[in-house]
Copies of this chain bind each other. A is one copy, B any other.
Amino acid sequence: MSVTLPPLKYNADGLIPAIVQDAKTHRVLMMAWMNAAALGATLRTGCMNYWSRSRQKFWLKGETSGHTQRVVRWAADCDADTLLFEVEQTGCACHTGYESCFFQTFTPDGTPVEISETRVFDPEKTYGG
Please tell me if the beta carbons of B76 and A102 are within 8 angstroms of each other in the complex. Answer: yes
Distance from A107 Cβ to chain B, minimum over Cβ atoms (Å): 7
Interface residues on A, range: 35 or more
Instruction: Mark interface residues in A30-49 (1 if CB within 8 Å of B CB, else 0).
Output: 11000000000001101000
Contact of A108 among B46, B96, B98, B109 (CB under 8 A): B46
Instruction: Mark interface residues in A99-110 (1 if CB within 8 Å of B CB, else 0).
Output: 001111111111
Please tell me if the beta carbons of B17 and A31 are within 8 angstroms of each other in the complex. Answer: yes
Please tell me if the beta carbons of B115 and A3 are within 8 angstroms of each other in the complex. Answer: yes
Contact of A113 among B2, B30, B43, B107 (CB under 8 A): B2
A82 to B, closest residue via Cβ: B31
